[in-house]
Homo-oligomer: A and B are copies of this chain.
Amino acid sequence: MSLFGNRHPGWSQGWAPGRTPIQPLTFVLIHGAWADVSFWEGIAAELRRMGHTVYVPEFPGHGTDSHNTNITHSTISQSIAQDIAAHNLYDIVLVGHSFGGTVVQKVAELVPERIRRLVFWNAFVLKDGQSAAEELPPEARAMFEQIRLQSGNDTIMLPFPFFRELFVNLADIGQAKQTYERITPEPAKPLFEKLDLKKFYRLSTPRSYVNLTEDHVMPFGNPNYGWHPHMSNRLGLYRFIQGSGDHMTTAKTDPAMIAMKLYEAGRD
């Protein structure tokens, strides 16, 4: 029985945790629905402070283009793939948050040779042939379909109580209202579009899933719904990273923590 007296040349020798230099990465950050590029502001600033290069593509139907509600999922993914090609980016870590996960899946199909790793942060990972709406529990989907019909311009605006309790549960009421006032109705089409993802499921690009444990947008514990493990497990072999936070507040209140999780997910 050894008491370490024999000085094993064990694999713990020589570790210097925390001293390893940061591996500089090129991040491309894709926001979700009811958001625009400003979602990433704090996180992008922290990533740059760490020495990374960060791109935050704006895409059709969001931000300065939010008046354009007649867009398809393909409009979005092709716009981003073109931006990536136009900047001649390679070796990118492509990060998607929430609905942005579906965009990551399609962009990965379009420019696979430019991508080093895919990172899904509480993001949709759809099966081949599925729409994002199909991942919503029946009551939420019915609510969305009704709002869509009543919108007059095929968009969906989140009701405030739904947004406050599920998207920003960790915010105080001031933060919740301020956030809500800035969001705009989301074009409905891409949410209900079934995506051909056959090529995605043939890709061997390394991938990671980042889960924040208080993200309550999807119901917990129902084996048929939810970010993790329901959708994350579709990634096959993936790296798992976890932290504490909700769907939209923590990006603002603790961007340094999120930036570190995205780095842990994105590094080699």
Contact = CB atoms under 8 A, between A and B. Distances in A.
Contacts of A220: 228-229, 232-233, 240
A268 B228 CA distance: 28
A42 B12 contact: yes
B223 A17 contact: no
Interface residues of A, number: 78
Nearest to A162: B237
Given A220-B228, A221-B228, A8 B63 contact: yes
A87 B12 contact: no
A74 interface: no
Contacts of A3: 54-56
A208 B232 CA distance: 26
B2 A63 contact: yes
A178 to B, nearest CB: 7
Oligomer: number of copies: 3
A12 B168 CA distance: 13
A39 B35 CA distance: 43
Contacts of A174: 20
A178 B11 contact: yes
A12 B252 contact: yes
Interface string A36-56: 111101101000000000111
Given A2-B63, A20-B175, A39 B10 contact: yes
A23 to B, nearest CB: 7
A42 to B, nearest CB: 6
Interface stretch (A99-107, A193-201, A211-219): A211-219
A41 B3 CA distance: 9
Nearest to A220: B229
Contact of A2 (B10, B56, B239): B56
* In the complex, the 9 A-B pairs of residues with the closest C-beta atoms, listed nearest first: A10-B38, A11-B182, A221-B229, A220-B229, A216-B240, A1-B83, A17-B253, A173-B268, A2-B58
Interface of A: 1-4, 6, 8-15, 17-18, 20, 23, 35-39, 41-42, 44, 54-58, 63-64, 83, 86-87, 161-162, 164-166, 169-170, 172-175, 178-179, 181-183, 206, 213-214, 216, 219-223, 228-230, 232-233, 237-242, 244, 251-253, 264, 267-268
